[in-house]
Amino acid sequence: MDLPEECWELVFNLVDHRHRFSSLSLICKLFLSITNDLVTTLAVSRPTLPLLPDLLRRFSRLRKIDLSGLDGDVDPILSRIAESELNLEELDISNRKNLPTHGLRALGSKLKSLRRLNCSQIGSLRDSDLNTIAELFPLLEELDISYPELGLSDSCSFLRPVTDVGMLSLSSKLKGLRRINLSGNHFITDQSLVFLSKDCLLLGEIVIHCCDFITQNGIAFLFRRCANLNSVSVSGIRFSLDDSTFHDSLLCAKALRVIDFTESVIADELLYAIREASLPLNKLILANCRGFTFSGISFLLSKHQFIQYLDLEAANFLTDDSMFELSEFLRGITFISLSMCNKLTDSTLFCLTRNCPFLNEIKMAGTNVGAKDLSFSTGSVANARIKYLNLAQNRSLGNESIKHYATLCPNLQMLDLSNCEGITEEGVFKVLKRCPEIRYLGLNQCIGIKTFLVDFELSNLEVLCARGSGIDDSGLALIGNRCPQLLQLDLTGCLNITAKGVKELVQSCRALREINLKWCNNVNVDIVAWMVFSRPSLRRIVPPCGFVPSESLRNLYLRHG
């Protein structure tokens, strides 16, 4: 206890999950005070509303409040937050029917420090709402107004969407805007990008997915006018280099580090132009793009050999041989997605582990991994940096293959084998034996998994997703005995489990916070009450079908957290 408080703060900052602070805070008043100060984010749910005034006083260093999980009127809540005098920097009010204007006015009158505002999925978002936001929070640096149509309150809202007029008002008042997400606003045009380019000189990142009237001309204008632009994310654009305008605009984008052209139509000429522009590119996303070939992507990557993030999902021209060539240009890569590239096999996986020494995450879902004989991989090299491996939807994948991958990636923390029908508990046992650091294990729809044959403790496993698997009561009992730190368990559609197995698991997993029993038709709904009172750590329960609690019972459960 003689250690200075500042040192304890450094120690506690190494804790990977903030929910573990609840245990530390019980040790002594000093630890309670320190953990209170280190909590900077609060997600408000309906059960926490009665405690909100106390929480706002307790966590005086809150910087972000998330109200996206609340339904109904949040104006009174925003007014309460305004009275707390917190130095709030970020607010999430997404997933609402309407913008909570009254609450925001109360907040804006007292809170001048707000820098980030999330208003995504606001049902009836209008031009006047954008003007209100800009007037109330003139110092905003990040704004999300994406996908307003997802929460439309009535059909009349179609008559008052966000348009270029609202964007003109917004851009003229938010001179310090650095990031904006406009996705799903179908009535804005290239003119909105012109307004942003002229007024928001600090704009560094823009996201424009599913905007029907945004074209490459608007994007080209951004490139020419926004000297600080470092990230552009668009989708569904048909790029053409018939004239030199777009090509010349790329030469002006000297700060561009991130390019995301998801689901767009691009040609090799565009990739040639990106290479010629000599951009400081470190992230490239061409997921589900059409029109380009191996020649174009190879030519681009040969110039940008220090790219760190690459997504080529559904680039079906890729083969094992072509990936061998590309891997020579990926020496600095940390993330790669080759999902849905159905010509790729084990050869590509082994090539990446061998040739990419900094690789941290590999996504090869829906490929042909597991189809080749493993005898060719005798020269493969283990890569201790790889922490995440997604091999879901590989129908050819079997136990022998994943045993070998576990040897190549001994420090795995996340492994997804969902929809791999050839995987059984024998293969999973070998993987867990060789990769003791695994925290997330995805076994969804793995019908070959019946039990959980593990005779050693999995002290790091925190999340187990086993939706639609063949797991039974004996498997649940083993999970409970072997996974003391399990936090989340998804058993959706597991028809072989009963209340008996669930009870054994819940009794053993003292840290369990979430359990999903949806469509577990053989689990009695009475198990819900038992779980609420038997496992205080639980925060979220998705009950079996047929569970209809009375109002008094619902309130009782909510009072238990």
Each residue's pLDDT tens digit, 282-296? 999 999 999 999 999
CA atoms of 352 and 312, how far apart (whole Å): 14
Confidence class for position 154, pLDDT limits 50, 70, 90: very low
| Average pLDDT, rounded, for the chain | 92
Contacts 24+ apart (CB under 8 A), 249-252: 249/219, 249/220, 249/221, 249/223, 249/224, 250/223, 250/274, 250/276, 250/277, 250/279, 251/276, 251/277, 252/223, 252/224
Res. 436: pLDDT tops 60: yes
Q: What tokens were used for 347?
A: 């050869």
Is the pLDDT reported for residue 358 higher than 80?
yes
d(CA 76, CA 220): 44
What are the Cα distances from residue 534, in Å, to 355, 378, 485, 538? 51, 51, 17, 9
* Alpha-carbon gap, residue 380 to 348, rounded angstroms: 11
Residue 69 has pLDDT above 60, yes or no: yes
Q: Which of 85, 84, 81 is nearest to 66 (CA)?
A: 81
CA-nearest of 346, 429, 412 to 380 is 346
pLDDT of residue 155 exceeding 50: no
* pLDDT of 157: 43
pLDDT at 397: 94
For residue 325, pLDDT over 50 is answered with yes
Q: Is the pLDDT of residue 17 over 90?
A: no
In angstroms, rounded to a whole number, what is the distance separating the alpha carbons of residues 169 and 9? Answer: 44
Compute the average pLDDT of residues 484-507. Answer: 96
Q: In the prediction, which pLDDT does 373 show?
A: 60
What pLDDT score does 153 carry?
A: 46
Q: Three-state SS for 396? A: coil
Residues in the chain: 561
Q: Which two tokens stand for residue 132?
A: 């209100």
pLDDT of residue 379: 61
pLDDT at 558: 79
Return the structure tokens found at 539: 């925060």
Q: Which pLDDT score, from 0 to 100, does residue 151 have?
A: 42
Dist CA 420 CA 431 (whole Å):
15
The pairing of strands 179-181 and 205-208 is parallel
Instruction: Kindly report, residue by residue over 440-490, the tens digit of the pLDDT.
Output: 999 999 999 988 888 899 999 999 999 999 999 999 999 999 999 999 999
Say what the pLDDT of residue 122 is.
Answer: 94
Instruction: Output the CA torsion sign for 509, 515, 520, 525.
Output: positive
pLDDT at 145: 97
- The percent of residues above 90 in pLDDT, for the chain, comes to 80
**Other C-beta atoms within 10 Å of 513: how many?**
19
Q: Specify the range with the lowest mean pLDDT, choosing from 41-55, 180-194, 426-440.
A: 41-55
Over 70: is that where the pLDDT of 150 sits?
A: no
CATH class of 324-437: alpha beta
Q: How many CB atoms lie within 10 A of CB 463?
A: 16
Domain segments of the chain as ranges: 324-437, 450-561
- Which residues are bridge partners to 489 per DSSP? 464, 515
Please report, for residues 23, 124, 431, the alpha-carbon distance to residue 404 in angstroms, rounded to integers and kept in the order given.
39, 53, 9
Give pLDDT tens digits for 386-431. Answer: 999 999 999 999 999 999 999 999 999 999 999 999 999 999 999 9
- Helices and strands counted in the chain (H then E): 21, 20
- The whole-number pLDDT of residue 1 equals 67
Least confident of 141-150, 189-198, 418-427: 141-150
User: Residue 377's pLDDT is what?
Assistant: 55
Q: What is the CATH number that goes with domain 450-561?
A: 3.80.10.10
